[in-house]
Structure 1
Amino acid sequence: MVQNKLIKVAMVALAAALPAQFATAHQYASNIAECPQLPARTTPPAGPHDLRPDDIKVIAAMGDSIMAGFALEGVNDGEGGTGILNVSSITEYRGQSWGIGGDEGAITLGNFVKHYNASSEGQSKGSHLATICHGLLCLDMFRNSEKDVLNAALSGGLAMNLDDELDYLIPRMKEIPDVNFETDWKLITIQIGSNDQCASCLNPFSGEVTVDKYTGYVEAAVERIKKEVPRVLVNLVGSFNVSAVYGLTKGQEYCRPLFNNPDAILNRVECSCFLFDDEARSNMDVLSDGYNDGLVNIYNKYKDQESDTFAVRYTPARIDIAGFPLEGMSNMDCFHPGKLVHQWVAKADEQIYCPNENDRFRVD
């Protein structure tokens, strides 16, 4: 059984789903369907500081393979081949992505919003073969817009690819029939930085993943959203220390090592720094801390520029990977989070907090 403390650490990454303040009588549920509907508002929201879940008409997400739900289901040797050649090893399960998934019964922020606003749009659905990015080469022409909907994440994506994601996201948002682009409230969650840490040991990308470059790319994306997307709350989710995956997975049979070699795990290839020494992995942690400092600086900058139609919030990712149960990782590569972790992050607690009519999304 997973210890309660470990579960709570994993789930804190989505503070955006939590209310601004708790009412005197807290209500929790094991399933979002058990939460009562909110009474209808008597007045529309006054701005991004006054948003409830039922005010969100459009939910969108940006990021990398985590947000894309890559390998979320792990590998089932009974279907689609064996080992890493199994089709599930190159599949994105976007309908179950913690931040935007819309598959029926999936525990996701997308479905939480849908519970309170049945007319909300943007949730990604189902699964398809991965849409891969590698540096400036992004195979985003292979997107499945009907399934991705407003999940703009690209597997392998770096902060430098956020502009590519917006090239998809903004036009797609405008073409959804039941969305009034000018007047409907939107929530865009951005979580990126894991691949940036791993690329710090890989030329020629190392110069593109410095703290200054990362911060610049994220800020440029936020600035573009501010200019081109009306009525929007941007949720910046913090970076976490990916280096801990190395120690957690070393020598673990669950991780499907090749040729019985404890270091021949697929994540050693996916994260180039895992092939180097402790110093390289320590530098990943330094970068992650710097990325978070950069995100806080972006939040503070835009806090002074908030308006009735735009705001930015920062959600720290207080995730201790070293404390994860191994089965929380995808057994495909022991690098990507599995379904269990996606559910933990979406709930942000062992049970789901049911907001009341006085609760609001936090923006400070």
Structure 2
Amino acid sequence: MVIALGDSITAGFGMLSGRPPVASVWEYRGKVFSIGGDLDEAYTLPSFLSVYSSKLTGASYGVSVPLARGKQLNNAVSGAKAQDLDQQVTRLVRQLQKPEYHSHKNDWKLITLFIGANNVCMLCTPPITGLPNIADVDVFDQHVRLTLERLRWEVGHAFVNLVALFNVSSVYEASRGNPYCEMVLDPSHMVICSCLQADDDQRLAADLVVQGYNERLALIAQEYQTLHDPYFAVSYQPGFKSFPVGKYKQRYLSGFDCFHPNRCANQVMATVLWNNMFSNQVEKLQPYHLSNLTFICPNAQRPYFQ
């Protein structure tokens, strides 16, 4: 069984959408790196896993309208922050009670959690008086921990991928020199992430927050490994930190908003995440080149996710 929690990136927002005014804007959940199940030879974790099991459940198919609450067991919601994960887990727990999933209650589940971009983007937005800073690393840490505890006790039999974030500044670099992207990312047209329209100092501050999130994800995963729970495992997957978004400009970003990963990027992300899952802690951190990515496959010495 495959499950995904997260935001618009995991919802597949704008993945295949073109430029206005003729663009059709959907969430392409069937092609998302972590849980897409469309039968068109897309590179996704479910398509890789199907080589080893013909009884995979939970993969998402087709499209959904923006801001949909989820599709199949892809519970990601566009615009979600770490604080919204609790709602996604509540929906997941209800789903798993339904007949089509309840019979798989004790099956192992691969859960991919990829969240935090919207928290980071709030760093460059004036805070609301009296409320905690949504971008605060401690706030992010708290909600990820609460989510994992709910997954452990209310879902169980799970291997959880905690996926690292990439830097906001790299997306800004990818938009430079592209008139359409510079227009779209101008705050007078579309506010996708306020840190993209900020100054260099604020973008640097946003990248430091991303670094803080990733460090906490690594620490949380390490702490869960010390529990030695035979029915629940958590692993930090850092591969996306090395995704050179700025280097490749718009080749890996949505034609609609110049921000969200396009289909090509999702296929690279699926490959990188898959390889991370079968790599040890040192190998996970090794740099990779998009032009010659190869697959790491399970073998007798390393048959399980790591």
> TM-score, normalization: structure 2?
0.85
Q: Structure 1: where are the runs of 5+ without partners?
A: 1-57, 77-81, 132-141
Residue of structure 1 equivalent to 2:59? 123
* Larger displacement relative to structure 2 (233-242 or 268-277): 268-277
* 2:179 is aligned with 1:236: no
Cα distance per residue 1:80-114 (max 9 Å; x no partner): xx42x7332xx100000000000002210122122
Give 1:229 shift.
Answer: 1.2
Cα distance per residue 1:234-254 (max 9 Å; x no partner): 110012212221122023046
Matched AA of 2:135 = V
Q: Residues of 2 paired with 1:267 and 1:180: CA distance? A: 48
1:240-279 map, 5 Å: 240-253=166-179, 255=181, 257=183, 264=186, 269-279=191-201
Residue of structure 1 equivalent to 2:267? 343
Q: Secondary structure at the match of 1:177?
A: helix
Q: Residues of 1 paired with 2:135 and 2:38: CA distance? A: 33
Provide the aligned C-alpha RMSD in A. Answer: 2.2
With over 3 angstroms needed to count, the CA separation of the structure-2 counterparts of 1:125 and 1:266, relative to structure 1, is: farther
Give 1:325 shift.
Answer: 4.1
Residue of structure 2 equivalent to 1:101? 36
Q: Residues of 2 paired with 1:161 and 1:69: CA distance? A: 18
Cα distance per residue 1:228-284 (max 9 Å; x no partner): 1121111100122122211220230463736xxxx6389961111223211111110
Q: Structure 2: where are the runs of 5+ without partners?
A: 273-291
Q: Secondary structure at the match of 1:269?
A: coil
Matched AA of 2:109 = K
Q: Residues of 1 paired with 2:107 and 2:56: CA distance? A: 10
Q: Secondary structure at the match of 1:151?
A: coil
Larger RCO, structure (CA 8 Å, separation 6 or more): 1
Residue of structure 2 equivalent to 1:190? 113
How many residues end up aligned between the 2 structures?
281
Give the conservation status (yes or no) of the 8 Å contact 1:242–1:321. no
1:111-190 map, 5 Å: 111-131=47-67, 142-143=68-69, 148-177=71-100, 179-190=102-113
Identity %: 34
1:54-65 map, 5 Å: 58-65=1-8
Give the conservation status (yes or no) of the 8 Å contact 2:183–2:189. no
Aligned match of 1:92 in 27, 34, 41? 27
Give the conservation status (yes or no) of the 8 Å contact 1:156–1:195. yes
Residue of structure 1 equivalent to 2:11? 68
